[in-house]
Amino acid sequence: MEIFRKKDIPWRIIDGKALLVNPKTSLLYPLNETGARIWELLDGKIETNSIAAVIMDEFDVNKDEARRDVQEFVNSLTEAGLAQKL
């Protein structure tokens, strides 16, 4: 499944951590390193399974954990109106 960051979401990554802003609600979404890396990869060109593979490599987690974490995380981003499915 391909998911991408909504293009109108303001965001920055600083020193590995990210801060996202939902302009419709003014809510702030700070992300840890893993979340920030997933967010960075959500350009709509990579499937979530491939993102999980990157996370597995870079953050020393096993495949199942990585897949579950990525899926849960993108679901919450979608629910918050920050990302959407292609």
Report, in Å, the least distance between residue 3 CB and other proteins. Answer: 17
Crossing angle for the helix pair 63-79 and 33-41, to the nearest 10 degrees: 70
Looking at the Cβ atoms of 55 and 67, the one nearer to other proteins is 55
Report, in Å, the least distance between residue 49 CB and other proteins. Answer: 26
> Footprint of other proteins on this chain (CB under 8 A)?
8-15, 17-19, 21, 23-24, 26, 28, 30-32
d(CA 29, CA 22): 8
According to DSSP, the residues that pair with 43 across neighbouring strands are 4
Contact 19, 31 (CB under 8 A): yes
Report, in Å, the least distance between residue 73 CB and other proteins. Answer: 14
